[in-house]
Amino acid sequence: LPTFGILMLLLAGSICTYSALGFLIFNPDSSEATQFFNTYGSSIWNMLMVLNGSNWPVPMIPAFDYNRSYCLYFYIYIVILGWGLLNLILGFVYGFFQEEQVLINKRAEAIWKQ
């Protein structure tokens, strides 16, 4: 389980880093910053919403209207964390599940042999 813990820390650190980056990148006077990145906590919350796909274009639209290159911030975030790191975590969870399933099958065979 230490590998899974390291992956979860990496995920949390990546979300916090991207939230801090968004908090610093977006102009504090823009509608993007006042709506979605006004505090560090709200920026973490909005980046979690972007990561899980729940209404993810909503934080991006004001930034996109202000400067079209800001959409790269969100696309890189989705590619690295959403498609990369979350799939890696899912692979480890599936591997742990398979190991546990093998142990359950061995215990069931031992019970049936008695």
For residue 105, what pLDDT is reported?
Answer: 92
For residue 16, what pLDDT is reported?
Answer: 92
For residue 78, give both structure tokens: 């989705």
Chain segment 79-89, per-residue pLDDT in tens: 998 888 888 88
Q: Tell me if 15 sits within 8 A of 44, measured CB to CB.
A: yes
Rounded mean pLDDT, 12-22: 90
Q: Is the pTM of this model over 0.85?
A: no
For residue 55, what pLDDT is reported?
Answer: 77
Integer angstrom CA distances of residue 45 from 38, 42, 95 = 11, 5, 29
For residue 1, what pLDDT is reported?
Answer: 57
